[in-house]
Amino acid sequence: MNAAVLRQPDMHLPAHPNELDRRRIERALGSRKRYRYVSPVVTGVIGGYLVESPCCSRNIDAEGGVIDVALLHHDAASASWKLFRKDHAAGVWELHGVHQRLASVTEILNADPERVFWQ
């Protein structure tokens, strides 16, 4: 009886962040179009992942310090991913889009044609 109870997943634990998806995001960012010579860091945060990177363009940080690139938040209720970009001037996160798959989010981060993430 106790073994059966132990095998049931705890439904109160959040699905994100987890190490598998954190590494999946890190690996996917290796094929980005912008600032390929810097090494972004993906950190687990409550409900998702934070992408940070050195600021090589010096547009945001004149000294080239580490800046926020993107925030990925998993919405368990709708089983979707919310992708946020940082408005560095205002110091706030802005919703960029909602996606059904994590792969769609990383594709947008990698392409970034408007340079809203990799600034």
CB of 78 within 8 A of CB of 65?
Answer: no
Give residue for tokens 């547009």.
59
Give pLDDT, residue 4. Answer: 52
Report the run of H or E that residue 109 belongs to, with start and end.
helix 102-111
Q: What average pLDDT is seen over the chain?
A: 85
How confident is the model at residue 1, as a pLDDT? 47
Return the sign of the alpha-carbon dihedral for residues 88, 90, 91, 94. negative
Are 63 and 69 in contact by the 8 Å Cβ rule? The answer is no
pLDDT digits (tens, 9 = 90+) for 5-52: 555 555 566 678 999 999 999 999 988 887 778 889 999 999 999 999
Write down the pTM of the prediction: 0.83
